[in-house]
Structure 1
């Protein structure tokens, strides 16, 4: 008897942003893995399901590893894949939560790859979710692409001159994983004269949420760069009469 594995994108934030198909999987899953950072007391992915009716007693929080050591990462996800595969082979439906879209800058990609290596043929399904930048764009009225505009999605580079080149060679830039670089990013956008039509979203749906449809006046960077996305437009959006 064989069950199945489902990777589910949830959130961002506890706003009910969950596809109906994913909610149906949650409600019938025998085991739900909720990844948690080693520096957090609770799983943010699990918090994204607040208010939804599903079997809470089937949730198992698991600390995910992201320390930059490829060998340790490989061992970590191989062990997790083998644990999940054992449950699936026992006939269980197993779900794994990830924040935002399931395969966009997500640790779920490592787990899916490990499952395919260590448990080939195992029923493995990935269901898409809603990205943080799509949510930020909707909340701020920021168009992520018009006509034939070129859009670039990237983690914030350490070299801000590289970011300058990316902005100048694209119409729209979606900047993720900003972190401590936010102050420099804000200064660059102000220098380029485009901060007024750029946007920022921080901790979407969580305590301390900040949503800025414009970056003028320039906000204090502080810790706003963490769990944040910056939406950058090289030219002001077109306005039709």
Structure 2
């Protein structure tokens, strides 16, 4: 008689791992070890994209997929503005991952940038906690898109007592203007198709030369501009998606090394 494999009595491990954004080396060593030993690797991919950006950020790093490609689970994401659609999607994904964990298979969940900064992983983690209270998991911190952009452009994210605001790009230019006027630095994420009017606003405020822009850092189609007043208009017209970050400085950086 063939013995059936019994379901594990306790869930296996979940690892949340931020990769990139950009160069493949942007990955903690401890996270690499988890990736190599995970039974399954879940990688998000935007709907319509041929390849997961998260996997592109791991190019050249041996995580064992060439020897065992069956470990990979690509998840197609459609960033639908309808919250009910997204809620259902995350609920279904959490149920799928929970089933793997209950069966004793450890899971590594990839996300771009930091694991818990505007990340899909945060939603998945919350949904899994509802399904599997107290399940074993570990979240590795990653590199945020704005930290990667600042490093690529030698752009200081804050000096002295400067006040910094991090926010997704609002839909209204008046709201963004108010935020800029009440902070020293604004990190603008999820710029997407709003880039043209954001650039126009910065020009109107006379601060474009103090602001920087980065898109697809370390990947094909990379754009890095330390002065957005010189940003090519064709860049503004190109689709930026969610891989674009604007670094806004209200006043010129103080040169404290000069008397």
Same fold (TM over 0.5): yes
Superposed CA deviations along residues 64-113 of structure 1, whole A, max 9, x for unmatched, are 24212222322222221122122212222100100001111111111001
Residue in structure 2 matching 1:234, options 238, 242, 250: 250
Q: Which residue of 2 aligns with 1:19?
A: 28
Residue in structure 2 matching 1:202, options 200, 215, 220: 215
Q: Which structure has the larger Rg?
A: 2
Superposed CA deviations along residues 9-49 of structure 1, whole A, max 9, x for unmatched, are 00102431011111111011110001111121111111110
Q: Which residue of 2 aligns with 1:52?
A: 61
Residue in structure 2 matching 1:7, options 13, 16, 20: 16
Distance 2:240 2:76 in 1: 23
Q: Which residue of 2 aligns with 1:104?
A: 117
Q: Which residue of 2 aligns with 1:86?
A: 99
Q: Which residue of 2 aligns with 1:40?
A: 49
Unaligned runs of 5+ in 2: 1-7
Distance 2:127 2:34 in 1: 22
Q: Quick check: 1:168 aligned with 2:206?
A: no
Superposed CA deviations along residues 116-155 of structure 1, whole A, max 9, x for unmatched, are 1111121122111101110000111111111111100111
Structure 1 runs of 4+ off > 6 angstroms?
none
Contact kept in structure 2, 1:168 and 1:234, CA below 8 Å: yes
Structure 1 residue 205, shift from structure 2 partner: 1.4
SS at match of 1:216: helix
Q: Which residue of 2 aligns with 1:28?
A: 37
Q: Which residue of 1 aligns with 2:161?
A: 148
Matched residue pairs, number?
241
Residue in structure 2 matching 1:75, options 88, 92, 96: 88
Q: Is 63-72 or 4-13 further displaced after alignment?
A: 63-72
Distance 1:171 1:60 in 2: 42
Structure 1 residue 224, shift from structure 2 partner: 5.7
Compute the RMSD of aligned alpha carbons. Answer: 1.4
Contact kept in structure 2, 1:34 and 1:60, CA below 8 Å: yes
Unaligned runs of 5+ in 1: none
Q: Which residue of 1 aligns with 2:3?
A: none
TM-score, length basis structure 1:
0.95
SS at match of 2:248: strand
Contact kept in structure 2, 1:179 and 1:223, CA below 8 Å: no
Distance 2:21 2:212 in 1: 17
Contact kept in structure 2, 1:85 and 1:122, CA below 8 Å: no
TM-score, length basis structure 2:
0.89
Q: Is 118-127 or 99-108 further displaced after alignment?
A: 118-127
Contact kept in structure 2, 1:199 and 1:213, CA below 8 Å: yes
Distance 1:76 1:184 in 2: 32
Distance 1:135 1:114 in 2: 29
Contact kept in structure 2, 1:25 and 1:95, CA below 8 Å: yes
